Amino acid sequence: MGGMTASSPPRVLTVAGSDSGGGAGIQADLKTMLALGVHGMSVIAAVTAQNSLGVQGYWELPPEAVRAQLDSVLGDIGAQAVKTGMLASPVLVETVAEVLSGVDAPVVVDPVGVSKHGDALLAPEAVDTMKSRLLPVATVVTPNLWEVSQLTGVKVEDERDLRRAADAILELGPAWALVKGGHLPGAPVDLLTDGVQEFRFTAERHDNRHTHGTGCTLASAVASHLALGEDVPSAVRKAKDYVTGAIARGFPLGGGIGPVDHAWHWRGR
């Protein structure tokens, strides 16, 4: 190095489940972080056996293992942003929320309830813990429409319901709500609001079924851009651009739903 010191990239921590198929979860988070130029770190809360066809099983880690990973990373290295994904059970949601309530960095909560294949990834009794403990420590929460109804009871039928849904999410305590309207008919619209400012993001709909990992990827991209110094609206805008490109270049894998391409802007295709 000849006496020069290399500067460290911003550090982003994901607290989530492992996806053995590599398209979602911790694996998607770390790939996204690498693609966006931050140093990704991980706390594994659960291990899934999953592939392109679905989730064949999941095993939670003991709370003390999750807490030890958190203490280990945050105590020595620290983080400029944190992203949470699949936390599976009430005790894990509570453990993570407790630690994160003492962290200064922005926290992006992807309130993972169910996989792309419809497999439940959050115990029903953990929904209340997520509402009462985790959402109040969130800077941004990124539910899809199914997760909105799971958390608030608000059913989004069309674009006009998005703001009502976002306001119901904000009542649970996060600073910002990003309600993902991708499952609505027509051009997909996501609505971001802090209760005062409102931003709508539209993207072309890609006729592509290889969308495994989109939610994990978006939340990790938001966290990465926050760590890089963006404010919430511009972090979300940049994250959306990255995910849109990744979906457009999703590829087949196995016999089912393939992943988005996290390395799309390197592959140049």
Active-site residue numbers?
180, 211, 213-216
Residue pair 14/83 in contact (Cβ under 8 Å)? The answer is yes
110: its two tokens? 């992807």
Alpha carbon distances (Å) from 176 to 58, 80, 180, 188: 30, 18, 13, 20
- For 176, phi and psi rounded to 5 degrees? -135, 145
Give the bridge partners for 83, in sequence order: 14, 108
List the alpha helices (DSSP H) in the chain: 25-35, 63-76, 90-100, 126-129, 145-152, 162-170, 214-227, 232-248, 264-267
Strand 140-141 with 107-109, pairing: parallel
Q: Which residue has the tokens 């592959």?
A: 267
